[in-house]
Structure 1
Amino acid sequence: MRFLAGIAAIICAVNLIIGKTFAWLSLAIVVVCFTVVVQRYLFAISYVWMQDLYIWLNGAMFTAVAGFALLRDDHVRVDIFYRPARMRTRALTDLIGVFLFLLPFTWVVYQYSMPFVQRAWSYHEASANVGGMPGLYILKSFIIGFAALIALQGLAMAIRSVLVLSGNAHLVPKSIEYRADAKVPELPKGAA
């Protein structure tokens, strides 16, 4: 069981490093977008490659940080039943969800995007816009990275669930442990 916990910890560390690194692209997106707006409205000039750049940075960031968001439990979930549930119930729900929905989803994304990415690499696809950025094939490769990082984090979630269900919750890495204090907040009286 310690081996499984170690694998989960490594997966979480990878997603943590990638997520924190690529999250900085949000600052680059704001700077580039601001520059494009200033150039267009103050100086009446525009560069297509700069417009491509902030759109591409946005795509790269959101695909790269998806596993990090799953690690932090930031993805949308119906919490009305999940959050107030006991730890073992949450673990069972996660285990079923990972194998029934998450891993099949990542497999479908991988299967359908791989020919798309390979074709883009075969002719070094660039922007369709005249004067746009080269290297669109690199951006398209992020789709494969997205599927891989989400699948890996799903595997870490499954390991966490197995550890909890087997009575080894103490081995769950801190980065993915269930929080006992994660309760649904009560509404103040008269708020409903």
Structure 2
Amino acid sequence: MKFFIIISNFADRVNSAVGYLTSWITTLLVVVVSYDVFTRYVLKNSSVAVQELEWHLFALIFLLGAGYTLKLDNHVRVDVLYSRFTPKAKALVNLVGSLVFLLPFCVLVIKTSVPFIINSYHFHEVSPDPGGLPNRWMLKSVISIGFGLLFLQGLALASRSLLTLAGSRQEDNNG
């Protein structure tokens, strides 16, 4: 049982650190969007690279923040029935959902994204728009990284659910 606690605490620490970094990326996105709005509407000048940077930053926030969101239990879920479940029933739903849906989906996305990233790297993929950003493979790499973080947090969720079902006392590290 100690192994499951170690996995859970490790996933929490990693995703907390990435969540903190993601909060700063969110701040950077606000600055970039403000700059884009100012240059577009006040200076009557627009940059394709700045516009692409906006959606690149948004992709980073979404992909890197998914594991942290799961850690905080703030992901989208239909809570009509779940909110009324006992802690053990919730643990069973989380365990089955993690093992049957979340973890296999993460593995599928990681497995299928790797050739996509390698292809982008080998062809030195850049933005198709003139003045766009280079090295598109770097952004595509975040797909695998983000789903890897989500997988890690899914393992933590499954581990904690298993511990709850076993009636084991958990040392929770939400840091």
Deviations for 1:47-93, whole angstroms, at most 9, x for unmatched residues? 11111111111111110110000001111111111122111111111
| Separation (CA, whole Å) in 2 of partners of 1:172 and 1:108 | 31
| Separation (CA, whole Å) in 2 of partners of 1:126 and 1:64 | 22
SS in 2 for 1:24: helix
Aligned residue in 2 for 1:26: 26
Whether the 8 Å CA contact 2:7–2:156 is kept in 1: the answer is: yes
Structure 2: runs of 5 or more not aligned: none
| Separation (CA, whole Å) in 1 of partners of 2:173 and 2:45 | 50
Whether the 8 Å CA contact 2:8–2:159 is kept in 1: the answer is: yes
**TM, length-normalised to structure 2:** 0.95
Instruction: Give the CA deviation at 1:25.
Output: 1.1
**TM, length-normalised to structure 1:** 0.87
SS in 2 for 1:75: coil
Instruction: Give the CA deviation at 1:174.
Output: 4.3
Aligned residue in 1 for 2:97: 97
Q: How many residues of Structure 1 are paired with residues of Structure 2 in the alignment?
A: 175
Aligned residue in 2 for 1:189: none
The 4+ residue runs of structure 1 with deviation greater than 4 A are none
Give the fraction of aligned pairs with identical amino acids, expressed as a percent: 37
Q: Write out aligned runs for 1:37-186 (5 A).
A: 37-168=37-168, 170-175=169-174
Instruction: Give the CA deviation at 1:127.
Output: 1.3
The higher radius of gyration belongs to: 1
RMSD: 1.4
The answer to which structure, 1 or 2, has the higher relative contact order (CA under 8 A, 6+ apart) is: 2
Instruction: Give the CA deviation at 1:3.
Output: 2.5
